[in-house]
Structure 1
Amino acid sequence: MGLVLANNVSSLNAQQNLTRSSNNLAKSVERLSSGLKINRGADGPAALVISEKQRAQIAGLEQAIENSEKAVSLVQTAEGALNEINSLLVKVRSLALDSANAGVNDADALAANQAEISNALDTINRIANNTQFGTKKLLDGSAGVTGTATDADVTVLKATSDTAAGTYSVTVDTVAERAYVDTTTALAAGTLAADETLTVNGVSISLNEGLTRDEVKNRINEFTSQTGVVAEDDGAGTGIRLRTEAFGSDASISVVSNQSGANSAGFTTSVETDSGVNAVATIGSNQFTGVGNVVTADTGVTKGLTVSLAVDPADSTLTVSGAQGNVSVTNNALQFQVGPNANQTASIAVDRVNPSSLGVGVAGNQFASLNDINVTSAAKAQDSIAVIDAAIDDITNARGTLGAFQQNTLESTANNLRTTLENTVNAESVIRDTDFAAEIANYTRQQVLVQAGTSVLGNANQQSQLVLSLLQ
């Protein structure tokens, strides 16, 4: 190439290479100072897209792990409260067993046991209503499957995770009945002509001469805790009706008096007996036979739903009958976001553990739930033990469900998320992080090129001086 003055191509070439080396050096400095080899889209468009998606996934994984750890804390709070209820039930069972030992207990001892049991049940109820995580209640049913009846004569005692959400009609096909015995003669305005001994369900009740009908009823009702029998006016309002507190085929009554005829309490000297009847109701599309006035669905979409039927206002020995509105079941199960993406959730329903929802519907038992147990007689204590055992089963099953959810769902998921997080961070690091060993080598190379380019550019600019030497 000839010597020219107008254009110094060698200088331009040196400038271009120096600019390129300077830009590469600036990028190398940026990568070394930031620790990232992808700092903007221009550094690697495809790599940036992949990296940002992985960053979002990493943030999601970190939050999902934290969510799982919070969920474990909540489950442990609920399980700890259930553990205390379990301890109380064990104590209540011991008291019931003590009361069943009728040969050594008098009425005062039985009453003392009942008082302590009542106190324990109040505590269980308080734990169920007050246990919460933050402001979220856990054991009162609001964190599980709940039911609401449209008719005041139907009370929803319980719904479980087996109960499908929806609205179900309730129809009483066979009313529940209490066992009862009416007087055969009226003691409307008169008084007892002589002392009388009335034996109700094996308990002797002394009636003094001169008692009026109302006073006879009051005297009999003093022994209700022992007999399970209530005295009230009969249907005509002129005699006395003795009826059991409990409904159902396991409720029975036997009455015998040592006096009969006019101006006696009105019962015969022959033993009169009666038994109750269990309710039969259709819930949704299936018919179920209850225990007393409590009906539990054991199949179909309503499985686990338990309802109680109210007393017929016109007859205290019967429950209401016919169509009784609807029950709406809502699933309020606790839901946890345990994954980094949408709809990666886990849920668990925590059943209501109030005494009225524990030990419900024990077959062959006079008590409808734990809330109704009574140990003031040996027979009642025996039935109470069965209900308490059922309540213990309810609580231990709930604890087992929570424990399995914690271990097999929350903790296992968290462990898997930690492994996934580690691998995802590693993948993102390969794409985005600076390899300092390689980049230091590149930095040194670019630095040398800039220094050499600067020197070469200076020499290229000196080429024009050669033309002047020719003009001398």
Structure 2
Amino acid sequence: MVINNNLMADNANRFLAINSNNQASSMEKLSSGLRINRAGDDAAGLAISEKMRNQINGLDQASRNAQDGISLIQTAEGALAESQQMLQRMRELSIQSMNDTYTDSDREKIDLEVQQLLQEIDGVADKTEFNEQKLLAGDKADSSSATTASADANDGLAVASMDGVARTAAAPVSTAGDTEFAAITAWFDDTRDAVVSAMNNVFSGMGDTYSGSFDDVKAALTEMRNNPDDYSDDYYTKSIEEQLAEYDSVNQTAIRSKYEDGIKDLQSEPLIESSIVDITALETAISNYGTAMANSSSGDSGNTGGTGGTDSSTDSTTGTTQTTQQKIEALITEQKDLISDKISELEDIKADTSKTTEEIALASNLLNAWTTLQNALNEMDSWTDLPDNYNSMTLEQKAQYYDDVKADSVAGRNYDPTNTTAVYALSYINANSPNDETVASFNSIAQTIEALEGAEFDQEIEGTRTFEFHVGANQNQKISVDITAMGVVALGLEEVNMSTKEAASASLASIDSAIEQISEQRAILGAVQNRLEHTIKNVDNTAENLQTAESNIRDTDMADEMVDLTKYNILSQASQSMLAQANQVPLQVLQLL
């Protein structure tokens, strides 16, 4: 029996500490509900569960991202549905306008609704936004990049000339007349034949199945040149691909695909790497040919244009390929021609000896008045600070504007506002030639110009914008969708009008093409939306399963932990009791003393 070391008390005390720690750990787990509260509880389990938590949180956010993506797509698709309804209404009006029960005046009224619908199509494209991002306005930067990339991809075609094909000389300059036109035609045919023949020679030497396919290209280009009325007015200024696409559209063929497949083979075939087709020569030929034809069309060739100012103006208002600005310029020219014709008419009357003295005097005075107006209009053409609405001003408004500027100018200090001014001249015309058709026609054209200027479409709505939705917990787990610009210009509708039967017929094809473009875009959006919906289901299911796995690792089993706590409570109390008894043992030594 010893008193310096109470081994029983030390042993009871050690177990009391162990039981107390276990009791505290069990209470902590029961209080937090977690089996792992610190790395010491389970280092490996903590590392695994933390990675799982990262994945779970990322998947939860990915699911929200995908849902936001669906919301964006639904916004765009809803706007496209409205644009498509407007196009369907325009198609209905186009068919209505082609009916001969309507006059051109009726068709102009039909066109009023069409032009408003076109404006709203641009409005929908510009105003459709999601979180301040335009959805249907495209991206010009993307469009430029795509064009650059396309050009870079085709650079190889212009590296060298094919064996036996010399670069084509520049297009002959045309002035006017059938002789020049015939020279241009022959020059173009020679250029086309040389390049097409060289293409076929290469394929023939290779034994390629495309041998002879460029004869179809040649036939298509020849057919278009021989029958220009079947195609757009400026088809000859387009690239080979664009011309063949138009040919395929009209004739239900697939010449363009043959051409493009052949060019791709030429680019990729190692046997002819040193003799790549010089497409640049033919492209340049077509461009120059188009320019020359356009120049010659102002003459007497009679193949592609009118023979005078009036015919040219008529073409500009009924054609379906001119830009709005070109139409406005043609109408301004028509206004000038009206005044010139009036002056010529008055000069003829003045020189007509069969007329009475009074008639000649009146014609002379009216001639002076119209000449004054003409000079004023010509002078204003040289001014650089004209108001924005100058082109759409009536003759009265232009005369008043001219007089106001002249009267306010330093040089106009001696300007007499009551005599030989533009306003005075027009007042004389109205007083002595009431209901003058020239004035009425001039003002009617001004109204048309005003309508055209109001119908200018947004040129900035073009290109394609890509939206990326991050739908995973890790890098590069995303779904993208391309949304093409859906404005009037991007859809090829800028020349749609119902002012004539022919224009309505030509517009129908453009409207059908636009409807098809929107249908294709809606189909793409619908497909991506369905994909995102499945993505959400998969992501949510994965997150749920990972949450279950993480729970198994990290959460505590409350029932099992209560058993342990009960055990540790009993052991702790027993350890305290044993420690108390062990501390009493050394007191027994006193009895011996």
Shorter-normalised TM range: 0.5 to 0.7
Give a deviation string over 1:361-384, Cα, whole Å, max 9, x none: xxxxxxxx2221222222322221
Is 1:278 matched with 2:400? no
Structure number with the higher strand fraction is 1
Query: 1:280 touches 1:290 (CA, 8 Å); kept in 2?
Result: no
Say which of 563, 573, 579 aligns to 1:451: 573
Give a deviation string over 1:239-271, Cα, whole Å, max 9, x none: xxxxxxxx9887539xxxxxxxxxxxxxxxxxx
2:31 paired residue number: 33
SS at match of 1:349: strand
Q: Quick one: distance in 2 between partners of 1:144 and 1:350?
A: 14
SS at match of 2:40: helix
Deviation at 1:469, TM superposition (A): 1.7
Q: Quick one: distance in 2 between partners of 1:128 and 1:175?
A: 43
Deviation at 1:62, TM superposition (A): 0.6
Q: After the TM superposition, which of the residue ranges 274-283 and 26-35 deviates more from structure 2? A: 274-283
Query: 1:144 touches 1:351 (CA, 8 Å); kept in 2?
Result: no
Give a deviation string over 1:370-414, Cα, whole Å, max 9, x none: 22122222232222112211111110110010011001x211000
Deviation at 1:164, TM superposition (A): 6.7
Is 1:416 matched with 2:393? no
Q: Quick one: distance in 2 between partners of 1:330 and 1:95?
A: 29
Is 1:341 matched with 2:474? yes
Task: State the one-letter code of the partner of 1:340.
Answer: A
Task: State the one-letter code of the partner of 2:510.
Answer: V
Task: State the one-letter code of the partner of 1:389.
Answer: D
1:383 paired residue number: 506
Q: Quick one: distance in 1 between partners of 2:177 and 2:227?
A: 19
Structure number with the higher helix fraction is 2
2:111 paired residue number: 114
5 Å matches for 1:358-397?
Answer: 358=491, 369-397=492-520
Deviation at 1:175, TM superposition (A): 12
Deviation at 1:174, TM superposition (A): 13
Query: 1:92 touches 1:120 (CA, 8 Å); kept in 2?
Result: yes
1:187 paired residue number: none
Deviation at 1:444, TM superposition (A): 1.0
Q: Quick one: distance in 1 between partners of 2:87 and 2:568?
A: 79
Query: 2:70 touches 2:532 (CA, 8 Å); kept in 1?
Result: yes
TM-score (norm 1): 0.64
Deviation at 1:55, TM superposition (A): 0.6
Q: Quick one: distance in 1 between partners of 2:178 and 2:226?
A: 22
Task: State the one-letter code of the partner of 1:442.
Answer: D
Task: Give the count of matched residue pairs.
Answer: 341
2:54 paired residue number: 56
Change (3 A) 1:289 1:174: farther
Say which of 143, 146, 170 aligns to 2:143: 146
Deviation at 1:450, TM superposition (A): 0.8
Q: Quick one: distance in 1 between partners of 2:479 and 2:68?
A: 13
SS at match of 1:370: coil
> Highest relative contact order (Cα 8 Å, sep 6+), 1 or 2?
2
Query: 1:252 touches 1:276 (CA, 8 Å); kept in 2?
Result: no
1:440 paired residue number: 562
Change (3 A) 1:10 1:397: same
5 Å matches for 1:287-366?
Answer: 289=244, 291=246, 299=260, 332-358=465-491
Q: Quick one: distance in 1 between partners of 2:538 and 2:586?
A: 71
Query: 1:32 touches 1:436 (CA, 8 Å); kept in 2?
Result: yes
1:191 paired residue number: none
Change (3 A) 1:38 1:166: farther
Task: State the one-letter code of the partner of 2:516.
Answer: D
SS at match of 1:146: helix
Task: State the one-letter code of the partner of 1:422.
Answer: E
Deviation at 1:355, TM superposition (A): 1.5
Change (3 A) 1:317 1:410: farther
Say which of 113, 120, 124 aligns to 2:121: 124
Query: 2:52 touches 2:550 (CA, 8 Å); kept in 1?
Result: yes
Aligned sequence identity (%): 35
Change (3 A) 1:248 1:334: farther
Q: Quick one: distance in 2 between partners of 1:339 and 1:34?
A: 31
Say which of 10, 15, 18 aligns to 2:16: 18
Deviation at 1:39, TM superposition (A): 0.5
State the superposition RMSD in angstroms. 4.0
Change (3 A) 1:249 1:138: farther
Deviation at 1:291, TM superposition (A): 3.9
SS at match of 1:420: helix
Q: Quick one: distance in 2 between partners of 1:355 and 1:403?
A: 23
Q: Quick one: distance in 2 between partners of 1:11 and 1:458?
A: 8
